[in-house]
Amino acid sequence: MHIRRVVDLSLAIDADTQVYPGDPHVRFAPAATIDKDGFNLLSVEMGSQSGTNCDAPYHFLDGGARIDELDLSLFAGRGVIIDVRGKLPRTSIQAADVQPYLDKVGPGTIVVFHTGWPAYYGTAKYFDHPFVGVDACRALLERGVKTFCLDTLNIDETPDDDHPGTGFPVHRFIAQVGGVVVENLTSLEQVDFTEPLITVFPLRLTGADGAPTRAVAMDLTS
């Protein structure tokens, strides 16, 4: 087995990283320099959900598994990309949108929703993303899917003053079955090969609700 191509699906993490409203912003500062100390070392301050990140069940479930307690098999598998580009702002991805893909998914599949919303990254419109509806989530859970990924800030609707939303029902459904959510993917349009191997391994932060993730799609050949 050889890796023919690797597509980076991760956002850069730096001072310009767009974060969920109210989350800590990313801050870098030099902790040591070659001139002063003989080596470079960076001090990093950020939230657990910065950049491309993975939510553990504990993010929305007090008794849920923390990010360092999860089975690593959740973070690597055959990817099925569900193309929902064309959805309007703040509209839900429905069961009818996922139905054509249900025969392709099952336990161990990594489902990836491609909304095209990274086109608005860095702007206010990025918060007005489409989101996964409860019925679509339930249809995938019934097939045994436990890893849900998407190229938006949030798998649920992101609330603001004009859009209070309905809470975080999809996060909670996935947490209750021990599943994970990976948000803020990018560059999905570059995955133009079939049956990609998707890996979304998070940092091993002890006891954390989530962690930044380096997500990639690999084109494998025998």
Ranges of each domain in the chain? 2-13+47-221
Enter the CATH code of domain 2-13+47-221: 3.50.30.50
Instruction: Identify the pLDDT of residue 143.
Output: 98
How high is the pLDDT of residue 163?
81
Give per-residue pLDDT as tens, 34-63.
Answer: 999 999 999 999 999 999 999 999 999 999
Under 8 Å between Cβ of 179 and 147: yes
End-to-end Cα spacing for the chain: 4
Positions of E strands within the chain: 2-8, 27-32, 41-45, 53-55, 76-83, 92-93, 110-114, 131-132, 147-150, 180-183, 197-199, 210-212, 216-221
DSSP state of 202: B
**pTM score of the predicted model:** 0.96
Hey, CA dihedral for 137, 77, 209, 18, is it positive or negative? Answer: negative
- Structure tokens given for 201: 């391994």
- Report angle CA 95, 101, 105 to the nearest 5 degrees: 110
Please say if the pLDDT value at position 166 is more than 80: no
Q: Which residue has the tokens 């990313």?
A: 26
pLDDT of residue 162: 80
- pLDDT tens track for 134-158: 999 999 999 999 999 999 999 999 9
Instruction: Check: CB of residue 79 under 8 Å from CB of residue 112.
Output: yes
Say how many residues make up the chain.
222
Helices 134-142 and 169-176 pack at an angle, to 10 degrees, of 20
